[in-house]
């Protein structure tokens, strides 16, 4: 987009307000000024800003297409702090595949080797995260009172999707009879995801309460952008254990399903990503690694 430099002399109080808004929304001062001007012009034109701007609460944000991770690009330049500016709910990993990551209520937890959790520092970096802004008022609530294994549970969740052609954020709080999860050890060298998965740690978390956090992606999106179908992580109620969900038996709980109508994917600027051969279909490797 063409740009033209304009010099403005703004009142001090207005500058302070714009700086505060920019900081709160993780934008530069210039970006905030441009955004506010666009809103004002839209209102003057009789066009609703709400119709023009994408609603971030219904947007799926990806820090990178997952095909990069599949092909062994395990180092990104996006910080967790930057991710949290895009959403307060999500899943992913840290650089060098240093465990799993779950973001719940705006707090990022690393789920390390053997499933022990710790808080993630904002400065830590990620090669792949999927996040959104969680809005309970926009979610469909599904009470779950019957005992269900993983396959039954996923089928029940999918039954409540209004369409098979959207993305969904899924938050399920419940009491479980048993849970099996996995995580991976920090890699010393970059290598394809399917090779890393052979060394994954699979562990039993036993009975307990906690939250499933994750997403469902429509099959027509393929496997280059993100994981097709369900991709769920578990975080225990005390925030001390968790991992990528493999198996579970739910006793009772409540699921919330939030439809996501927009996608926003960053394409990394690193030389590794720019020079990578990403032409191969990653579906088989991704399916094998996610099991």
Q: CATH number for the 57-290 domain, one of 3.10.129.10, 2.40.160.20, 3.30.1330.80, 1.10.3720.10?
A: 3.30.1330.80
- Choose among 116, 115, 122: nearest CA to 94: 122
Does the pLDDT value for residue 20 go beyond 80?
A: no
Whole-number Cα distances in Å, 267 to 72, 131, 176, 273, 279: 16, 15, 38, 8, 15
Q: What is the pLDDT of residue 181?
A: 97
Let me know: does 246 contact 181? Beta carbons within 8 Å.
yes
User: For 109-160, how does the pLDDT look when each residue is reduced to its tens digit (9 = 90+)?
Assistant: 999 988 999 999 999 999 999 999 999 888 999 999 999 999 999 999 999 9
Does the pLDDT value for residue 54 go beyond 60?
A: no
Calpha distance 63→77 (Å, rounded): 10
Q: What is the pLDDT of residue 159?
A: 96
For the chain, domain boundaries: 12-52, 57-290
Calpha distance 159→180 (Å, rounded): 24
Let me know: does 84 contact 120? Beta carbons within 8 Å.
no
Let me know: does 222 contact 211? Beta carbons within 8 Å.
no
Q: What is the pLDDT of residue 11?
A: 82
**Whole-structure pTM value:** 0.81
The distance in angstroms from the start CA to the end CA of the chain is 43
Mean pLDDT (the chain, rounded): 89
Does the pLDDT value for residue 47 go beyond 50?
A: no
Owner of token pair 């066009």? 47
Calpha distance 85→278 (Å, rounded): 28
Owner of token pair 């944000």? 61
């Amino acid at each position: 987009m063409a740009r033209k430099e304009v010099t403005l002399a703004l009142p001090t109080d207005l500058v302070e307000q714009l700086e505060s808004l920019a900081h709160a929304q993780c934008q530069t001062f210039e970006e905030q000024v441009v955004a506010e001007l666009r809103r004002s012009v839209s209102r003057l034109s009789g066009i609703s800003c709400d119709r023009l701007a994408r609603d971030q609460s219904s947007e799926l944000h990806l820090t990178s297409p997952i095909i990069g991770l599949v092909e062994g690009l395990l180092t990104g330049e996006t910080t967790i702090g930057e991710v949290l500016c895009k959403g307060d709910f999500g899943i992913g990993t840290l650089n060098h595949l240093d465990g799993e990551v779950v973001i719940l209520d705006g707090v990022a937890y690393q789920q390390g080797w053997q499933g022990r959790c710790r808080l993630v520092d904002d400065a830590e970096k990620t090669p792949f995260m999927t996040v959104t802004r969680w809005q309970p008022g926009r979610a469909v609530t599904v009470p779950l009172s019957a005992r269900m294994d993983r396959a039954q549970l996923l089928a029940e969740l999918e039954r409540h999707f209004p369409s098979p052609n959207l993305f969904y954020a899924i938050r399920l709080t419940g009491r479980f009879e048993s849970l099996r999860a996995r995580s991976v050890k920090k890699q010393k060298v970059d290598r394809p995801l399917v090779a890393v998965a052979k060394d994954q740690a699979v562990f039993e978390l036993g009975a307990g309460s906690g939250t499933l956090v994750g997403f469902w992606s429509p099959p027509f999106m393929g496997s280059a952008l993100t994981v097709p179908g369900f991709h769920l992580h578990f975080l225990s109620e005390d925030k001390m254990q968790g991992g990528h969900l493999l198996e579970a038996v739910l006793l009772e709980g409540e699921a919330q399903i939030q439809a996501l109508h927009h996608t926003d994917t960053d394409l990394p600027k690193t030389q590794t990503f720019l020079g990578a051969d990403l032409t191969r279909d990653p579906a088989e490797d991704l399916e094998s690694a996610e099991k």
